[in-house]
A and B are shown apart, each in its own frame.
Chain A
Amino acid sequence: MRVLVVEDDKNLREQLSGALTDAGYTVDTADNGEEGQFLGETEPYDLAILDLGLPKVDGLSVLKAWRKDGRSMPVLILSARDRWSEKVEGLDLGANDYVTKPFHMGELLARVRANVRRQTEHTSSTIEVGDLRLNSATGQVTVNGAPVKLTAYQYKVLDYLMHHAGRIVSRTELTEKIYSQDHERDSNTIEVFIGILRRKIGSNRIITEKGLGYRLIDPATEQQ
């Protein structure tokens, strides 16, 4: 998987590049906004790590240009600016995550892992269950046309459930799929995610099969 790192600090760029390479990613780097924007527009990346304070063109402008250009790879903003309003602004512009400096490399890698696009796993980029629609190319989820904002893990849970729509998915199965590369989780983690998803897409779409697991249905066709 290819990851683009746009960071002007040489040391940090090398650390990021080293850590990502060690984690098995192919890494391209740029030390200014102009070059970063060009690379992001011309090369297919699975994720971009974007510093905001960049020479020549600042990070937010680069992000805006990418999104305007139709580039939909997940973008992880890396910034020293940690005001919540700035984070929200970055997110509004289409960033997928926001990491503030200084950060733990382990945390960053976890977030990269969570955000890297999973499109390679499925040939079809759009799955629909009733009016619930998931576009794995862009990572967009809509209910009846209205976009739903999901975090990377929430997305993964829904993605898995949708790919196995109609059939029962056990908690263990979900946990293994979602957290295959991460550290151990609370036993009720999946429960929490299901709760969040129910709130976001409608509680009647995910059915709890007692003792077995969960099942995603289309409430319009499957009345119980």
Chain B
Amino acid sequence: MSEGSSKSSPVYGGGAERSEAEGESPASVAHRPLRHRASRDDGSPARGGAFLQNFRALIRRSLAARLLTIAIVSVLSLMAMGVIAHSQFQRQLLRLLIDPEIQAVADNLVGNSGPGLAGEIALQDLPYDPRYLQPLSGRYFQVARIQDDGSLDVQVISPSLFDVSIPLDSKLQATLTAPDAPREPRFIDIPGPDNEPLRIVARVEEIPQLEGRYLFLVGVAPRAILAPAANLVGISFAIFLGFCALMVAAVTVLQIRVGLEPLHELQRDIAEVRRGEHERLQGDYPAELKPVTQELNALVDHNREVVERARRHVGNLAHALKTPIAVLKNAAADGKGEDEVVRQSIDEMEKFVERQLRRARVAARAEARAGATIAYRTPVLQNLEDLVFMMEQKYDHEKAIDISVEAEADVTFRGEREDLLEMVANLIDNACKYGRNQVIVRLLPPFGDCLFEIVVEDDGPGLGAADLAKAMARGARLDEAAPGQGLGLSILKETVDLYAGELFFERGDLGGLKARLRLPATD
């Protein structure tokens, strides 16, 4: 327990220290009461302030909290208005009900007053209304003689008053008993016996055959009138309150569900844009969200533009570098092996440029694919044959390599021609590089799933078990680990991933590497 409080003490500690610091101000004695107040103020408003801050934070964080607050505030103010209107109405109603009665009773009392046996004021008849007789019934009267010093000498009270009198505060009494007080009856609301509200009529009269002035008071407590209906009002009011609470809850839930739904839609839409399923926000949004979506779209466009510009820039730069690299390379080659360092640097530059370009390309394709639902259809066989001829030419002067294409039937690739060529070229190029004399490219139609398969096999040395595993590992950068060994493999994998395709490496029947590329076919 004490541990707990000591742990939580830092929170209070600040306040206590602060109040102590205040207390130790030079005029500490003179300010003692002030300090007392200060320390107390320090407690509750600080807590109140913290609450307010929490509330503000909540409002800032949560739209639902905002809506709920608005709903609660509006319903509460409506209820307050209702309560005010209700009490106003009740007061008017009570006046209408009470005033004529007490006036009539007062008239009756004045009329019935006369001198008693001992020269005091006496009533010849009691009012006919028996409720003035029942103790504390809420209906009272009182007759008092106004003394010369302004005090009252109560002479007659209604039996209902039992043994008390209608209390008047001194100020009211002074106004009522002033010598120049008007004769007209005055209706006043005062706290009556037992401090219950009482509406009274006050009349100052002179009674024939009696000296001095007399103050007649007749009062009716609203309670006496309302009592029979009190329960009824309470229940309906409770029902009204309950209904209000339900409405607040329902309205809030509706506001959050229905009112905030477009925000959820917007969120889903943005997520789709981010995943690259759409190019821009496409939903039809309420007018209030339109500016937001327009700005978002503008931002997306701008972003894309910037990225594209940067990419173009990199591409242009890389391409522009190629010619000078070619010049350097040829110049270095003239040195006949003397400039090994220069040649190595040039090779590095070349590889770097190559890699950057390929990366930019893959990214550009990923970008281009965002939005446009893949509507590309690329016949595979013809492109394979073109590619194979390209490869034959590429390796024509290097070595004799027999690249054969085996296909039962043509298939159509659901994707771009460029991507297909780039992926397959990568595999065939590798196969030609490492193969001795033979490369077989097989095109297998899809069966089961919608993926067709391109198998590229060579009769080269192939990869060892460890390298095979490395090549198979997802995201493996075989080309970066060993430059020259399957350059572009990682980029190839990225492209395959773009199409949700698959790429496997195995040991082939020809003894070399067998690459199996599986890509989506059109239906």
Contacts and interface: CB of A to CB of B under 8 A. Distances in A.
Given A85-B421, A114-B397, A192-B401, A92 B386 contact: yes
B389 interface: yes
Centre residue among B320, B402, B438 by max chain A CB count within 10 A? B402
A1 interface: no
Contacts of B346: 102
A146 interface: no
Centre residue among B320, B331, B393, B421 by max chain A CB count within 10 A? B393
Contacts of B328: 102
Interface string A79-94: 0111111011001100
Interface string A96-135: 1110111111110011011000000000000000000000
Centre residue among B346, B396, B438 by max chain A CB count within 10 A? B396
Interface stretch (A29-37, A64-72, A150-158): A150-158
B455 to A, nearest CB: 18
B402 A111 contact: no
A11 interface: yes
Contact of A189 (B325, B327, B400): B400
Contact of A104 (B324, B329, B386, B387): B329
A97 B394 CA distance: 8
B308 interface: no
Interface stretch (A165-173, A180-188, A213-221): A180-188
Contacts, number: 120
A149 B396 contact: no
A157 B350 CA distance: 34
Centre residue among B326, B354, B387, B399 by max chain A CB count within 10 A? B326
A88 B326 contact: no
A193 interface: yes
A212 interface: no
B331 A15 contact: yes
Contacts of B422: 83-85
A189 B422 CA distance: 28
Nearest to A11: B327
A12 B327 contact: yes
B97 interface: no
A102 B350 contact: yes
Interface in B376-420: 383, 386-387, 389-390, 392-394, 396-397, 399-402, 404, 417-418
Overall SS of chain A's interface: helix
Contacts of B294: none
A22 B372 CA distance: 53
A92 to B, nearest CB: 7
Interface string B416-442: 011001100100000000001110000
Contacts of A11: 324, 327
B323 interface: yes
B420 to A, nearest CB: 9
A101 B322 contact: yes
A192 B396 CA distance: 12
Contact of A84 (B390, B393, B436): B390
14 contacts: A15-B330, A80-B319, A80-B323, A84-B387, A85-B418, A85-B422, A88-B386, A88-B421, A91-B393, A96-B393, A105-B333, A188-B400, A192-B437, A193-B400
Closest 7 CB pairs of A and B: A102-B326, A80-B322, A192-B400, A84-B425, A189-B400, A151-B396, A84-B421
